Structures are given as structure tokens and as C-alpha cells.
Amino acid sequence: GENVEQHPSTLSVQEGDSAVIKCTYSDSASNYFPWYKQELGKRPQLIIDIRSNVGEKKDQRIAVTLNKTAKHFSLHITETQPEDSAVYFCAASFQGAQKLVFGQGTRLTINP
């Protein structure tokens, strides 16, 4: 079936350290993998995305890697800051990008 698994569900890191969140997906035909950040009381917002023809993408302190063979992708945040504290969701496209299926979310806390 259509499934996206996300780990860990909670993550706590010291300010300045790196954070890594991992997701696996079930459909080998999935070709679009966005990551959303949702701050408390706010709407989810896209922070980075990657397509299946690329193995890695970076935008300042955040990067995403994709392993199509293993059907998993990861979000990497370096030099974490307090404002990085939020819930992060991964997603994968299904049915030819007709829809996105989201992971269960990771609550990231940055400790000063």
C-alpha cells in the first residue's frame, strides 16, 4: 500500500549540533519528496524538496539525500538553532504525483 514511515518521532539536540530525520516509502514509482516544517500553531511550510533524478540537494543549513534503491530519504540540518525547533514532516508522491502521503512527523527540539 501507500506508506511513508518517519523516524524518530521525537529528537532533541544541542544548539549547534546536527539533526537527521529519516523516512522510507513503499512505492518505487514515487518521484517527488518534499519536507515540511510546522511551527507550533502555524501551517506546514515547505523547506526543501527533491526529485527522483537527484541524489542530494542542499540549501544553506539543510540538505536532503535520496536513495532510490533502498527507498529512503533523509533530512539533515547542520548548526542547529533554537528557531529550528518544530515538527518536521516528510512526504512522498503517489499515483504519478496525484497525491502526497506524509510521514508521522518528528518533533525536533533544539536545546540552548
Partner 1 sequence: ETGVTQTPRHLVMGMTNKKSLKCEQHLGHNAMYWYKQSAKKPLELMFVYNFKEQTENNSVPSRFSPECPNSSHLFLHLHTLQPEDSALYLCASSGGIGLAGNEQFFGPGTRLTVL
> Where do contacts with partner 1 occur on this chain (CB under 8 A)?
31-32, 34, 42-46, 49, 51, 87, 89, 91, 93, 96-102, 104-105
Q: Count Cβ atoms below 10 Å from residue 19 Cβ, excluding itself.
A: 19
Helix (H, G, I), strand (E, B) or coil at 82: helix
To the nearest whole angstrom, how small is the minimum distance from the Cβ of residue 112 to partner 1?
26
CA atoms of 27 and 59, how far apart (whole Å):
26
Q: In the chain, what is the straight-line distance between the N-terminal and C-terminal CA atoms, in Å?
A: 41
Q: Give 85 or 105: the residue with its C-beta nearer to partner 1.
A: 105
Q: Give 21 or 100: the residue with its C-beta nearer to partner 1.
A: 100
To the nearest whole angstrom, how small is the minimum distance from the Cβ of residue 61 to partner 1?
20
Q: Give 32 or 65: the residue with its C-beta nearer to partner 1.
A: 32
To the nearest whole angstrom, how small is the minimum distance from the Cβ of residue 63 to partner 1?
18
Q: C-alpha distances in angstroms, 105 versus 29, 36, 54? A: 22, 9, 23
CA atoms of 48 and 100, how far apart (whole Å):
15
To the nearest whole angstrom, how small is the minimum distance from the Cβ of residue 88 to partner 1?
11
